[in-house]
Amino acid sequence: MNINDYLKTSKILDGTFPELESTPDSPFTLFNKWLSDAFESGSDEPAVMVLSTVEDHTPDSRVVLLKAVDDSSLYFETAKPRSKVRQLHGNHNVAANFYWPPLGRQVRIQGTAVLTDDFSHVADNLDAPERDLNVYHIIPYRFEFYQAVTAGYKRFEYVLEDNRWLQHTL
Ligand SMILES: Cc1cc2nc3c(=O)[nH]c(=O)nc-3n(C[C@H](O)[C@H](O)[C@H](O)COP(=O)(O)O)c2cc1C
């Protein structure tokens, strides 16, 4: 088959998906639940996220691994001589995207990615204590959750305003 024939036949969000539960006050509670569900449901590589950065108004994306989460941040690591290190030095704004196909779920995160050496509480999850890596934590200010349902989808966001997470249906 030629590539456009493959594209015509590709199926997305084809399955039975979980009901959307009531939403907690903190997006981290829901993110941790959805990420745990992705591990438990056998999603391939559930901790993989697409991380987007911007340099001189030009976006760039790549896959990185989420290495740890705490109450306010998501942690990833990278080698030092990398484009993303230069890009993040000039502009801390990032977007991160998780997609867990078996669950029909996507999470979009916007925030700032800051180089940190304050990671002793998650050091067990990191390679940096043994290797010369940069550790960044993403501090989100917006989460968008997408849940496929039988006939369509549900989408809602949490936005940080005055240190409080506000929820909106989209
Ligand atoms: C499954 C997968 C996981 C990856 N995990 C990481 C990672 O955790 N950190 C990282 O710096 N690069 C990771 N990479 C490589 C990046 O996608 C990218 O190719 C590399 O970091 C260079 O990106 P940059 O030039 O934008 O800095 C991963 C790639 C794949 C396919």
**Torsion, Cα of 92, 113, 47, 98 (10° steps):** -50
Instruction: Report the CATH fold assignment for 46-169.
Output: Pnp Oxidase; Chain A (2.30.110)
Whole-number percent of the chain with pLDDT over 70: 100
Report the separation in Å between the CA atom of 63 and the middle of ligand 1, taken as the mean of its atom positions.
5
| Residue among 33, 155, 48 nearest 100 (CA) | 48
pLDDT digits (tens, 9 = 90+) for 85-116: 999 999 999 999 999 999 999 999 999 999 99
Mean predicted confidence (pLDDT) in 141-147:
98
The residues spanned by each domain of the chain are 46-169
The CA angle 35-40-51, to the nearest 5 degrees, is 30
DSSP three-state, residue 145: strand
Q: Residue 65: CB within 6 Å of ligand 1?
A: yes
pLDDT digits (tens, 9 = 90+) for 21-38: 789 999 999 999 999 999
> If pLDDT is split at 50, 70 and 90, which confidence band does 148 have?
very high
Cβ neighbours for 79, distance < 8 A, ≥ 6 positions apart: 133, 134
Report the separation in Å between the CA atom of 24 and the middle of ligand 1, taken as the mean of its atom positions.
32
**What is the rounded CA–CA span in Å between residue 105 and residue 38?**
9
Report the separation in Å between the CA atom of 166 and the middle of ligand 1, taken as the mean of its atom positions.
32
Query: pTM (2 decimals)?
Result: 0.96
The pLDDT value given to residue 151: 80
DSSP state of 23: P
Residue 114 near residue 2, CB atoms below 8 Å: no
Q: What integer best gives the mean pLDDT of the chain?
A: 95
